[in-house]
Structure 1
Amino acid sequence: MNATIRLALAASLLAAGASHAQDGELSIAMLIPGKIDDNGFMEAGYNGLLKIEKQFGAKIAYTDQVQPEQDKLEEALRALARQTPDMVIAHGGQNNEAAKTVAAEFPDIPFVVVQGGVTGPNLSSYEVLQEHSAWLGGAAAGLLTQSGVVGHISGIRVTPGLKGRGGFYHGLMHTRPDATFLTIFAGNQDDTELAARVAKAETDQGADIIFTMLNAGRQGATDAMREAGAKQIGNVIDWTKVEPDVFIASAIADVSIPSVQAVQDLVDGTWKPETVKHIGLENPEAVSLTLSDSVPAEIRDRIDTLREQIVTGEIEVSTEYSGPELEM
């Protein structure tokens, strides 16, 4: 497809979205592969859809609890697209390839992947930079650890999770370059028993702070860490307000925001295909590190300084990690 045709398609998609919004007929469909009540990433996506319903008066539809296998994700997206909504949103980077395939089958419908990295003639991605808050979380862990051993636990090996792990590691190395880093992708975001076993394995090796990027499985890790006397750094939401006895910090990346932003762009006539839109620490409502009340003022000040250095570009957040991983 040449540039002229792409521009024409983009213009027609934008006009359609703006027209529906003005007529009060806006309809948005979302694929949420996991559980909408997982206290984590998937629930944040669902909350974004509810915000869209309230903020824009939109008619909403969603499909949830789909196995992260491409053929199943594709069929779920097709079923939503057949309803001819004004936009289809796929929540999560695990939808990247499925969204590329299905968007091509429905060229008149705008598609968006939240926390994705794919684009197409009618496809864009919106990504909250979890690695920014994760980097600060790693820096805080380096300043707070007593044992010098810091852990990381995640489930599915998806790109945003890999980036978050890499960002956390480099933040840790920035403030505590001699730290020992334990990391694992255990294969499941929602299994509490598995998360508990992995957390115990890391605390048994001396980890006194662990960064968890989990969904419903997080409670298992939290219980195990409470028993071991270890501290946790959470993600997505502010866990320091939920279980303050365990959580010493939380690397917030509000992934309800990208879907709302995508719909706002559609309504405003500014949504663009073939783009990846990034949202980082410059938007503290979307990305930030919260610290528990027990964190000393001097460490808070240090984290504030590091945040500014990331925003200004003085510190570049690396997301690469090629070191060893824990085996279970």
Structure 2
Amino acid sequence: MKIAVLFVGEVHDRGFNQCALEGVERMRAAGAAEIEIVSGVSYQPNAMTTALETSAARADGVIFIGGQGNGITPPVAASFPDRSFAVVQGNVTGANLASYDVLQEQSAFLAGVAAARLTQSGVVGHLSGHRVSPGLKGRAAFSSGLRHVDENIRLVTGFCGTQDDNETTDRWARGIADTGADILFTMLNAARDGAIDACQATGMRQIGNATDWCAVDADVFVASAVARIDLGVERAVINLLAGRCPDQIEDLGLAQNAVELTCAPDVPEVVREEVNASAEMIAARQLEVETVFNGPEFELGQ
């Protein structure tokens, strides 16, 4: 069986895409299928559609990595009924289309809990790029975690329109720091370096996502909302090989050890304990993680 795995943007981004790539490489090494990586696809809808159609024409199955695939994949899947499709971080299904959702929002909620306890200024920032479903849910969950601890904390949140341009994220992160934020939760790909530069310049601490950024730079990163996107990729490949197409979205979260919040060494034990207690409650369905945000948004220059 030949499977094409499609990535929007830079695949070696030290974040979301690279985490997914780790799952692809593990499945490649297992030798169960011929797996082609299609990377560097533009975020433009026409470019994503063309890349998906081209991949489907030469593969038995196609996996779209990222929430961008939610709007692009269903019509392409319908036009290739003899192919199998999957979206990792998806919320769409069909006769030949499955979705796998690593619940980033659960670790984002925990990031909100930690940020609420760690902020000294009472102002916390959030910065993401594209307005796709996983990013929107992650922002809402982060806000939910903040309010779970302290309703009075101010959230300064924005989507800068890019996951990969560091100049843009540097400017946006500095703008958020200028509002008084001392902690910034980022959901970015290759453009995280811009936010890192801004944090180093302003003294704002950052909470990363997807991978464990505390292990990379604990001086900048006070925590990281880890989401094992690679496990979603593995599940998608395994089901494609078995000829299975789940008719419901397959979720992977705290209960499946697919997400967690890691903390830098200087995070007090009492904060870690509160994060762990919240994680246990979420896994046991005793604590609701909100996935809709209706608050104000930050616009650079305003």
Superposed pair shares fold, TM > 0.5: yes
Aligned equivalent of 2:75, options 101, 104, 107: 101
2:7 maps to what in 1? 32
Q: Gapped runs of 5+ residues in structure 2?
A: none
Q: Are residue 259 (structure 1) and residue 233 (structure 2) matched?
A: yes
Report the Cα distance in structure 1 between the residues aligned to 2:255 and 2:59, rounded to whole angstroms.
35
Report the Cα distance in structure 2 between the residues aligned to 1:266 and 1:67, rounded to whole angstroms.
25
Whether contact under 8 Å (1:32, 1:45) holds in the other structure is: no
- SS of the aligned residue for 1:111 comes to strand
Identical positions, percent: 45
Q: Are residue 64 (structure 1) and residue 43 (structure 2) matched?
A: no
Report the Cα distance in structure 2 between the residues aligned to 1:264 and 1:146, rounded to whole angstroms.
46
- SS of the aligned residue for 2:100 comes to strand
Q: Which amino acid aligns with 2:6?
A: L
Whether contact under 8 Å (1:122, 1:273) holds in the other structure is: no
2:175 maps to what in 1? 201
Report the Cα distance in structure 1 between the residues aligned to 2:160 and 2:59, rounded to whole angstroms.
38
Q: Are residue 75 (structure 1) and residue 50 (structure 2) matched?
A: yes
1:316 maps to what in 2? 288
Report the Cα distance in structure 2 between the residues aligned to 1:222 and 1:84, rounded to whole angstroms.
39
Note the 1:1-328 alignment, pairs <5 A: 26-85=1-60, 87-268=61-242, 271-284=244-257, 286-328=258-300
CA RMSD of aligned residues (A): 1.2
Displacement after TM superposition at 1:268 (Å): 4.5
Q: Which amino acid aligns with 2:298?
A: L
Q: Which moved more, 1:146-155 or 1:217-226?
A: 217-226
Could you give the per-residue CA deviations for residues 208-257 of structure 1, whole angstroms, max 9, x where no partner exists?
10000011111111111112111110000000010110100000111121
Report the Cα distance in structure 2 between the residues aligned to 1:95 and 1:289, rounded to whole angstroms.
26
Report the Cα distance in structure 2 between the residues aligned to 1:291 and 1:152, rounded to whole angstroms.
17
Report the Cα distance in structure 1 between the residues aligned to 2:62 and 2:12, rounded to whole angstroms.
21
Report the Cα distance in structure 1 between the residues aligned to 2:53 and 2:108, rounded to whole angstroms.
34
Report the Cα distance in structure 2 between the residues aligned to 1:312 and 1:45, rounded to whole angstroms.
27
CA radius of gyration, larger in: 1
Whether contact under 8 Å (2:103, 2:252) holds in the other structure is: yes
Q: Which amino acid aligns with 2:217?
A: E
- SS of the aligned residue for 2:291 comes to coil
Q: Which moved more, 1:213-222 or 1:50-59?
A: 50-59
Report the Cα distance in structure 1 between the residues aligned to 2:46 and 2:58, rounded to whole angstroms.
19
Whether contact under 8 Å (2:102, 2:232) holds in the other structure is: yes
Q: Gapped runs of 5+ residues in structure 1?
A: 1-25
> TM-score of the superposition, structure 1-length normalised?
0.89
> TM-score of the superposition, structure 2-length normalised?
0.96
Whether contact under 8 Å (1:135, 1:171) holds in the other structure is: yes
